[in-house]
């Protein structure tokens, strides 16, 4: 089978609100989380929708640049943009099409959490991860078939009611405070782990930043932190005439903070659309090509208030 896969790193630049659309507790608009461990994520369907939007914008810009598309009505948009071969083959027919004759050629996984930024008394913030998240990343790398590094995963030991955090050898702290929790520190050489993580981060001197800010905590501590340290902001809606809060216009919205590192897997197969030959390599290439000039992707809701922007970095190409 002609199939090729890769992993994309997504480093949040602004807060991300990928909501569940359903209220589960005191938070009116909670974010998406994995069912079995409660870790935040962005569901694959939301990521695929964001990629499709990006592809349509890219196509639209190309058509306008070449003056092919001068009149933008709904029918023209569907025919020239959404139903164009390079979009329909990759993502499948657009929503609302009467007859679906083929499936898309791209599998998009959930965007999964790898590094979570946490307030710390001793520095700007710490990038926190845990052995389970790192193991899963390595397993995903293996499944998606690329040439990925094998890294020994640090193992923090919580004991006697005290939580342990593993930090790089150059870290100055003896005790570490994450939110209001105190961790005892163990220093280890994390250079190979830092190299693996930095490879996912589209930011200058990622390795240098991780040398100062990477923390590996136990799986239990990580689960507690990612369930209780996400920003929850109160929002109100104001009546424009009276300048007072509308009745019922108060809600609490949860977000993933900026600097969160997520990753997702892409796996492409040969295109299935009749008359449009695209092999797996071309399918994957067309998606990666969306980020050549502008390596940004908008994920989740509240786009018009600047939320959801991630810096995208393709890591490796396997298959």
Partner 1 sequence: MGDTQQQLWRFKALDTWFFRESRPMESVGGSELLSAFPPSPRTLAGAIRSVVGEHHRVDWRQWKDKAQQPPLKQRIGDADGLGKLTVSGPWLACENAEGEVERLFPVPRNLVALREGNSIKQTLRMQVGKPRYCDLGKAVRMAASPLLEAKTAALEDEWINATTLYQVLMGGICQPDALVTTRNLFAREARLGIARDNMSRSVETGLLYQTRHVRPMQNVIVEMGVTGLLADDHPMQGVVRFGGEGRGAAYAVQPLTDTCFPTKVQANSHTHGILLMLLTPAGMANASGETAYAPLPGFQCTEQSGATVWRGQLQGIPLTLHCAIQGKPVREGGWDLANNQPRAVQSLIPAGSVYYLTVDNGDIPAAIDTLHLTQLPAEQNELALGRGLLAVGLWPDNELMGKE
Interface positions with partner 1 (CB under 8 A) = 1-3, 5, 20-22, 34-36, 41, 43-45, 48-49, 52-53, 56, 72, 74, 77, 82, 92, 95-96, 99-101, 103-104, 106-110, 112, 136, 139-140, 143-145, 265, 267, 269-270, 272, 274, 303
Q: How far is the CB of 228 from partner 1 (least distance, A)?
A: 20
Judging by DSSP bridges, how do beta strands 181-188 and 163-168 pair with one another? parallel
Q: Which is nearer to partner 1, 15 or 32 (CB)?
A: 32
In DSSP terms, 166 is beta-bridged to 186, 216
Q: How far is the CB of 313 from partner 1 (least distance, A)?
A: 20
Q: Which is nearer to partner 1, 263 or 291 (CB)?
A: 263
Q: What is the C-alpha to C-alpha distance for residues 303 and 168, in angstroms, rounded to an integer?
A: 36
Longest dimension (CA), the chain: 70
Q: Which is nearer to partner 1, 123 or 138 (CB)?
A: 138
Phi/psi for 313 (5° steps) reads: -140, 110
Q: What is the C-alpha to C-alpha distance for residues 208 and 49, in angstroms, rounded to an integer?
A: 34
**Tokens standing for residue 270:** 């040969």
Report DSSP state, residue 241: T
**Tokens standing for residue 100:** 């679906």
Cβ(269)–Cβ(287) under 8 Å?
no
Q: What is the C-alpha to C-alpha distance for residues 194 and 201, in angstroms, rounded to an integer?
A: 11
Q: How far is the CB of 71 from partner 1 (least distance, A)?
A: 13
Q: Which is nearer to partner 1, 85 or 270 (CB)?
A: 270
Q: How far is the CB of 300 from partner 1 (least distance, A)?
A: 12
**Tokens standing for residue 259:** 């600097």
Q: Which is nearer to partner 1, 119 or 136 (CB)?
A: 136
Q: Which is nearer to partner 1, 21 or 248 (CB)?
A: 21
Q: How far is the CB of 237 from partner 1 (least distance, A)?
A: 19
Give Cβ neighbours of residue 239 (< 8 Å, ≥ 6 apart). Answer: 245, 246, 249
Q: Which is nearer to partner 1, 26 or 204 (CB)?
A: 26
Closest CA to 104 of 309, 269, 274: 269
Q: How far is the CB of 178 from partner 1 (least distance, A)?
A: 25
Q: How far is the CB of 174 from partner 1 (least distance, A)?
A: 33
Neighbours of 285 (CB within 10 A): 14
């Amino acid at each position: 089978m002609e199939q090729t896969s890769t992993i994309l790193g997504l480093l949040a630049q602004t807060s991300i609100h990928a909501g569940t659309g359903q209220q589960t507790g005191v938070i009116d608009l909670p974010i998406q989380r994995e069912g079995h461990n409660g870790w935040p994520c962005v569901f694959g369907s939301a990521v695929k929708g964001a990629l499709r939007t990006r592809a349509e914008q890219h196509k639209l810009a190309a058509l306008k640049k070449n003056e092919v598309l001068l009149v933008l009505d709904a029918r023209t948009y569907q025919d020239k943009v959404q139903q164009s071969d390079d979009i329909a083959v990759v993502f499948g027919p657009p929503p609302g099409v009467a007859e679906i004759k083929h499936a898309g050629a791209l599998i998009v996984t959930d965007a999964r959490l790898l590094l979570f930024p946490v307030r710390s008394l001793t520095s700007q913030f710490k990038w926190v991860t845990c052995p389970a998240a790192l193991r899963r990343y390595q397993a995903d790398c293996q499944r998606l078939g690329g040439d990925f590094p094998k890294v020994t995963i640090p193992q923090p030991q919580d004991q006697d009611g005290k939580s342990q955090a593993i930090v790089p050898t150059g870290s100055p702290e003896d005790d570490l405070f994450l939110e209001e929790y105190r961790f005892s520190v163990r220093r280890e050489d994390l250079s190979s782990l830092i190299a693996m993580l930095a490879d996912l981060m589209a930011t200058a001197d990622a390795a240098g930043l991780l040398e100062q800010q990477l923390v590996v905590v136990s799986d239990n501590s990580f689960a507690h932190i990612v369930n209780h340290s996400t920003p929850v902001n109160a929002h109100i809606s104001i009546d424009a005439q009276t300048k007072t809060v509308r009745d019922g216009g108060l809600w609490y919205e949860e977000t993933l903070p900026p600097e969160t590192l997520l990753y997702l897997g892409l796996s492409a197969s040969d295109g299935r659309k009749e008359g449009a030959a695209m092999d797996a390599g071309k399918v994957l290439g067309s998606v990666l090509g969306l980020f050549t000039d502008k390596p940004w992707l908008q994920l989740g809701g509240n786009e018009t208030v600047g939320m959801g922007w991630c810096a995208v970095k393709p890591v490796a190409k396997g298959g």
